[in-house]
Amino acid sequence: MSIHQSISASPVERHLVSLRPVLDALDAESGRLDRWGRTLAARLMRGNRMLAAGNGGSAAEAQHFTAELVGRFDGERRPFSAIALHADTSAVTAIGNDYGYDEVFARQVSGHARHGDVVVLLSTSGASRNLLLAAKAASASGATTWALTGAGPNPLSSVVDECLCLPGPAANVQEAQLVAVHAICRAFDAAVAEAEKRSGS
């Protein structure tokens, strides 16, 4: 779309135009997404779990991710252990009340995470303090930390093991992160199916 066309375009057209380069950036990370999905499958098949967290819309993305693993993505398979930390409202409100909102995820990570678990943190800004503290708590617990954020480098990308940073408007980054979640699930399911075929189960 030309500059003249973009000026005269509707808000919806402009939104979709701004999404395309974010998806292009995501496409360049397809190898990482495949590796993450397969790594996650290997970990969860041996009894580890995934913990996920985010704020606002990113919380919804995190919960979507865990639901795909505990339920199913698009084919039958056994359930796996995945917990959305923000979804435990009693824990979130108790921790927030007693320790402050910065600690709502870190304290849960310290309680739940074990060596070999995977902690996935979603943020468009990459600057949320409660996610930064969660990443540090995960590392202290021996868990692997991944983040999906907006443009990098950012504070969160500097404290996790790996970060998928996508440049673009926050809304478009969040949309692309859902595509990333589904791509990881696609690789996850493929790895589980391959492992079960090898084992004859």
Q: Per-domain residue ranges for the chain?
A: 16-199
- Please tell me the predicted confidence (pLDDT) of residue 66: 98
Token pair 């979804």 in the structure block, residue: 87
- Please tell me the predicted confidence (pLDDT) of residue 4: 47
Residues 59-93 have pLDDT tens digits of: 999 999 999 999 999 999 999 999 999 999 999 99
- Please tell me the predicted confidence (pLDDT) of residue 109: 98
For the chain, how long is the longest CA-to-CA vector?
Answer: 60
Provide the b/e sequence for 32-67 (b: ≥16 CB within 10 Å): bbbebbbbbbebbbeebbbbbbbbebbbbbbbbbbe
The number of residues making up the chain comes to 201
- The predicted model scores a pTM of 0.93
- Please tell me the predicted confidence (pLDDT) of residue 3: 46
pLDDT under 70: residue ranges of the chain: 1-7, 201
3-state secondary structure of 75: coil
Distance (Å, whole) CA 195 – CA 201: 9
Residues 35-57 have pLDDT tens digits of: 999 999 999 999 999 999 999 99
Name the CATH superfamily housing domain 16-199.
Glucose-6-phosphate isomerase like protein; domain 1 (3.40.50.10490)
